[in-house]
């Protein structure tokens, strides 16, 4: 594991300029030996545009949204388990990880580092005309939104909200800042910083730069992320206003029932708010989601299997059940991220999540939300409910967002135990809410090299 200084890596001008041409993760990967600051190589709006694409690349890596972040949040729940076919994810699924296990910590702070480079730029000095000025501010807005999203992802996994502590994560806002050994803020301080970054992002981004491909963040991506953050921390009024901003934008809609399954093999759908791009030539291959979710005919890993009883939670006629299927007798996720080699885009934020967030916030705030919840149910081929409950909302979220990495977060934010419901699950008994294992350990190398870094309890 790389040490905390990895957050503040330095790029050479040559690397920067080459990045702008190709924008691959490898080209952006900096090292401490390089001795030319990235800021010295930025002289145009085109430069920061290239860097922004590079920041997105870090999110696509297998350690992050490309696989591990999603899978780890599924195998630690009542959705999936690791069958050990290739030995992958049994440690995570057993809650047996330690400070040397590794996770997405490095990729996350690498993305944050690039976002901070972009945020630090004087756009007025880089822009040559009004159009470039607006574009530059829009790119900086994306950087603020990405910084907020990534810190939020880190907070959910490493923060102590669900283990009885108060610590969050190190919220890094400067590239190569004076504090090379940051300490952890409280999780409440993290939430304040995240929400502030999202508001700044929304204010800076322009409707004129709406990305119809959905592979970069647009103005309402910031509000969608805000909706997600607010739901997690029970900020119901914020969740309502953020959700309404996305809904009222008119830019997004639910994918139809008829196209629900096929939509997962086609990018830039009407329900996508932000997604990560992969292609047949730029994919994760054996490290992809498809490779770990199913066996297929190409010798893929197929370690992550669906618990047998999961098929029973779907009502008759629910098109979401069609995502499931069998390989022999093994229940599988067959059609979310269907390409076995990972050339499908990975949606990070979908419109359906916003509808669910809105319904929950309305329920918690006023007792409402029934029509919003039913709008999703009827779209998926089901009859509407006559009454709404918290359990009904969480159950609907499970069915809609299954295999996308939401289940662990939903159990945590609602204070639920990780129940042992099946012999197939890798852990031996129910894990009570508050157990130290519900917060991931800070990587040991960061503990060893940063005297200000405090480890989570139990590790």
Which tens digit of pLDDT belongs to each residue from 246-273? 999 999 999 999 999 999 999 899 999 9
Residues pairing with 306 in the sheet: 80
Please, which residues have CB within 8 angstroms of residue 311's CB and are 6 or more apart in sequence? 321, 324, 331
- Spans of the chain below 50 pLDDT: 1-36
Residues pairing with 274 in the sheet: 349
Q: Please indicate, yes or no, if residue 330 is contained in any of the structural domains.
A: no
CATH code assigned at 72: 1.25.40.390
Q: What is the pLDDT of residue 428?
A: 97
Q: Using the structure block, give the residue that is written with the tokens 């081929």.
A: 381
Q: Please indicate, yes or no, if residue 334 is contained in any of the structural domains.
A: no
pTM of the model: 0.93
Q: What is the pLDDT of residue 299?
A: 87
Which tens digit of pLDDT belongs to each residue from 346-365? 999 999 999 999 999 999 99
Other Cβ atoms within 10 Å of 328 Cβ, number: 6
Residues pairing with 275 in the sheet: 347
Domain count, the chain: 1
Q: What is the pLDDT of residue 19?
A: 40
**E strand intervals along 261-399:** 272-276, 304-306, 324-327, 330-333, 346-350
Q: Please indicate, yes or no, if residue 396 is contained in any of the structural domains.
A: yes
Q: What is the pLDDT of residue 178?
A: 66
Rounded CA separation 294/421 (Å):
22
Q: Please indicate, yes or no, if residue 326 is contained in any of the structural domains.
A: no
Q: What is the DSSP letter of 294?
A: -
Contacts 24+ apart (CB under 8 A), 412-421: 412/156, 412/161, 412/162, 412/438, 413/231, 413/232, 413/233, 413/234, 414/390, 415/162, 418/76, 418/77, 418/78, 418/95, 419/78, 421/78, 421/307, 421/309
The boundaries of the domain holding residue 83 are 4-90+101-261+346-425
Q: What is the pLDDT of residue 418?
A: 98
Please, which residues have CB within 8 angstroms of residue 356's CB and are 6 or more apart in sequence? 373, 376, 393, 396, 397, 400, 401
Q: Using the structure block, give the residue that is written with the tokens 């639920």.
A: 416
Q: Please indicate, yes or no, if residue 312 is contained in any of the structural domains.
A: no
Q: Residue 326, class by beta-carbon neighbours within 10 Å (0-12 exposed, 13-18 middle, 19+ buried)?
A: exposed
Contact (Cβ atoms closer than 8 angstroms) between residue 240 and residue 362:
yes
Q: Please indicate, yes or no, if residue 196 is contained in any of the structural domains.
A: yes
Q: Please indicate, yes or no, if residue 22 is contained in any of the structural domains.
A: yes
Q: Please indicate, yes or no, if residue 281 is contained in any of the structural domains.
A: no
């Amino acid at each position: 594991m790389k040490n905390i200084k990895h957050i503040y890596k330095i790029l050479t001008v040559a690397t920067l300029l080459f990045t702008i041409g190709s924008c691959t993760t490898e080209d952006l990967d900096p090292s401490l030996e390089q001795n030319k600051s990235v800021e010295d190589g930025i002289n145009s709006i085109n430069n920061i545009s290239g860097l922004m694409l590079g920041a997105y690349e870090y999110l696509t890596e297998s350690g992050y949204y490309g696989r591990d972040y999603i899978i780890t949040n599924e195998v630690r729940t009542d959705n999936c388990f690791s069958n050990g076919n290739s030995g992958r994810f049994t440690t995570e699924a057993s809650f047996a990880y330690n400070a040397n296990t590794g996770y997405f910590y490095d990729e996350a702070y690498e993305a944050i580092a690039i976002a901070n480079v972009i945020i630090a730029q004087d756009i007025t000095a880089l822009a040559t005309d009004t159009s470039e000025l607006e574009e530059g501010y829009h790119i900086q807005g994306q950087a603020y939104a990405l910084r907020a999203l990534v810190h939020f992802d880190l907070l959910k996994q490493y923060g102590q909200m669900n283990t009885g502590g108060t610590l969050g994560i190190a919220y890094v806002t400067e590239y190569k800042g004076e504090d090379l050994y940051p300490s952890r803020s409280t999780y409440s301080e993290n939430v304040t910083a995240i929400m502030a970054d999202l508001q700044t992002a929304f204010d800076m981004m322009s409707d004129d730069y709406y990305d119809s491909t959905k592979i970069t963040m647009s103005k309402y991506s910031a509000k969608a992320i805000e909706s997600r953050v607010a739901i997690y921390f029970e900020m119901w009024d914020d969740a309502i206003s953020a959700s309404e901003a996305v809904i009222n934008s008119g830019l997004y809609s639910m994918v139809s029932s008829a196209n629900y399954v096929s939509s997962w093999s086609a990018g830039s759908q009407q329900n996508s708010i932000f997604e990560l791009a992969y292609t047949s030539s730029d994919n994760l291959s054996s490290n992809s989601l498809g490779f770990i979710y199913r066996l297929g005919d190409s010798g893929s890993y197929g370690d992550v299997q669906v618990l047998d009883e999961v098929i029973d939670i779907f009502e008759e006629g629910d098109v979401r059940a069609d995502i499931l299927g069998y390989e022999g007798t093994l229940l599988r996720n067959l059609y979310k991220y269907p390409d076995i080699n990972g050339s499908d885009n990975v949606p990070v934020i979908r419109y359906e999540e916003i509808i669910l967030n809105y319904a929950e916030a309305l329920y918690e705030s006023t007792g409402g939300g029934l029509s919003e919840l039913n709008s999703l149910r009827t779209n998926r081929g089901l009859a509407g409910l006559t009454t709404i409950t918290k359990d009904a909302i969480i159950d609907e979220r499970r069915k809609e967002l299954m295999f996308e990495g939401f289940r662990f977060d939903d159990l945590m934010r609602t204070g639920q135990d990780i129940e042992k419901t099946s012999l197939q699950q890798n852990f031996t008994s129910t894990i009570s809410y508050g157990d130290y294992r519900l917060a991931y350990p800070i990587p040991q190398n960061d503990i060893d090299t940063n005297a200000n870094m405090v480890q989570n309890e139990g590790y």
